[in-house]
Structure 1
């Protein structure tokens, strides 16, 4: 099969590889499109050390070509969107059957764009922070894969006000279509917020922004941490200070959840898929690349300023 391989020299090359065979509880997927996400940036820059050679790619859409032991053979030939541990930048990939979700009614590009971002956004809003009607919500990386969906899920949950950090004034109309009431640039945060406080803040940034977020929490507010895009330097938080205002700091790691409790991740993903197929939310595919152009796509994602979702055409 054709695959994109990351070698020991940190370079990507198109190569021919043996198609993987599904193990017990797994399916093999003939990939039509793969999704690009922040994990591809971290693998590419060496932050997540992986044995080389390595086929990256963590999100796949296509049809089930074969099943492993314990998986219903009737699933063969059905369209799916799948969350993978690796290998999606290839013509075939294996995935746990529980994380290969039926994708009838979705075109392959949208199915690939569903990826990890959609269930992550759903869980951040519905499970981690439990956004309630009337809540005020602040979302960093507002126009990215998770942020653009989190705003929509917050609106669906009844949030009274949703503010985004990231983007430019020219993107305000686009942000409004996602459910944002207001959009501010990263450089304007937090000064542009004046004295505004929030019941829920989603933070994939880290560093000084994390401390500024704590200062913006309303009494009993919830800060959800799910990444460190700006820096991996630790931020120290005083639990006694949180206690004085009833604030909470929560974390979410969907990749860990896929290994420890995949059924929980699948439950959120299934509900998110229902909202997508019912057209209550939308996923914007903002860019499409060929497999050979993945390095360029990763560079552009790492540079920031992208909005929506990038997909890679495989089949």
Structure 2
């Protein structure tokens, strides 16, 4: 089958069009004929080698954490979606940039009335957004939320979900001042430039601060986020876009200022509590299909542009969600 992968870790230029064997579903798995594959920052990390060296068929690894498409086959003894059903799936072991992908039934859900292109951007981004808000963040109605990397896939999904869950105010930060004008279209009350968000957040909240901060950036942004927390405020960390080194928080500071730090890692949840991912995926697909949760259609590009898409994503030059139209090779 056709796929897009890499044989050595490195920059976007290592990605290439390849031919690899079509995977066979095992027990508890389904084979999906991929229509669209979502693009996520974790795939940049995968390509760079942050998850190890490639060791797939022929020495290639195929990125891709989420897909939509049609069930082509079920593994032995598998009770799951019917062959021919349109589904979306999370792929914790990657493999989505390909004509076919295998997924465990815990991570596969019918798309319902949601278009396949939109559904491809749901399985990774939306369960993560629900997870950082509800599971790790313990968001309650009436609270104020601050979202870093606000124009990205998780950020823009989290803004809308936070509002649907009853947040009173939703603010965000972006890496460039040019993006601050996107606030209304992305569901925010306001967006601030990330380099000077502290004063802006305290001003707009009359000095109280935010109840919940979602941070995939790390480094100085993570440290500064603690200073804008309201009493009993929480910072939820779920990434390290800036590739910063380890950071140790001062427990004395957390205690004396009634602050908390929590973590969310989708891979860990998928390993130890896979049903949670499936529940959030079903929740998101249903809310998006019904219109209860508004969303912006993704940017659809041919997979031949995989290297360029990775370059833009790595440079912070993307907005919202990008998906590859796997059937469109050119």
TM-score (normalised: structure 1):
0.95
What is the alpha-carbon distance in structure 1 between the residues aligned to residue 124 and residue 78 of structure 2? 22
Question: Which segments of structure 1 move beyond 4 Å, counting only runs of 4 or more?
Answer: 167-173
Q: Could you tell me whether the CA contact under 8 Å between 2:112 and 2:285 is conserved in 1?
A: no
Q: Shift in Å at residue 311 of structure 1?
A: 0.5
What is the alpha-carbon distance in structure 2 between the residues aligned to residue 132 and residue 303 of structure 1? 34
What is the alpha-carbon distance in structure 1 between the residues aligned to residue 176 and residue 183 of structure 2? 10
Q: Which residue of 2 aligns with 1:64?
A: 71
Number of residue pairs the alignment of both structures matches: 315
Q: Which residue of 2 aligns with 1:4?
A: 4
What is the alpha-carbon distance in structure 2 between the residues aligned to residue 112 and residue 86 of structure 1? 14
From the superposition, tell whether residues 74 and 280 of structure 1 become closer, same or farther in structure 2 (CA, over 3 Å): closer
What is the alpha-carbon distance in structure 1 between the residues aligned to residue 186 and residue 303 of structure 2? 29
CA distances 1:21-53 after superposition (whole Å, capped 9, x unpaired): 001100000001100001111012222213231
CA RMSD of aligned residues (A): 1.7
Q: Which residue of 1 aligns with 2:278?
A: 266
Q: Which residue of 1 aligns with 2:36?
A: 33
CA distances 1:76-122 after superposition (whole Å, capped 9, x unpaired): 11001101121111100101011011112111110111130111001
What is the alpha-carbon distance in structure 2 between the residues aligned to residue 9 and residue 230 of structure 1? 19
Q: Could you tell me whether the CA contact under 8 Å between 1:132 and 1:159 is conserved in 2?
A: yes
Q: Could you tell me whether the CA contact under 8 Å between 1:286 and 1:307 is conserved in 2?
A: no
Correspondence for 1:82 among 89, 96, 102:
89
Does residue 1:275 correspond to 2:283, yes or no?
no
Does residue 1:303 correspond to 2:315, yes or no?
yes
Q: Shift in Å at residue 192 of structure 1?
A: 2.8
What is the alpha-carbon distance in structure 1 between the residues aligned to residue 317 and residue 4 of structure 2? 25
Correspondence for 2:306 among 284, 288, 294:
294
Q: Shift in Å at residue 182 of structure 1?
A: 1.0
Q: Could you tell me whether the CA contact under 8 Å between 1:204 and 1:227 is conserved in 2?
A: yes
What is the alpha-carbon distance in structure 2 between the residues aligned to residue 279 and residue 172 of structure 1? 26
More off after superposition, 11-20 vs 162-171: 162-171
Determine helix, strand or coil for the equivalent of 1:114. coil
CA distances 1:54-77 after superposition (whole Å, capped 9, x unpaired): 111111110000011232376111
Specify every segment of 5 or more residues in structure 1 that has no aligned partner in the other structure, as ranges: none
Q: Could you tell me whether the CA contact under 8 Å between 1:290 and 1:313 is conserved in 2?
A: yes
Q: Which residue of 1 aligns with 2:60?
A: 53
Does residue 1:117 correspond to 2:129, yes or no?
no
Alignment of 1:1-315 (within 5 A): 1-8=1-8, 10=10, 11-49=14-52, 50-51=54-55, 52-72=59-79, 75-84=82-91, 85-166=93-174, 171-172=179-180, 174-193=182-201, 194=203, 195-315=207-327
Q: Could you tell me whether the CA contact under 8 Å between 1:152 and 1:179 is conserved in 2?
A: yes
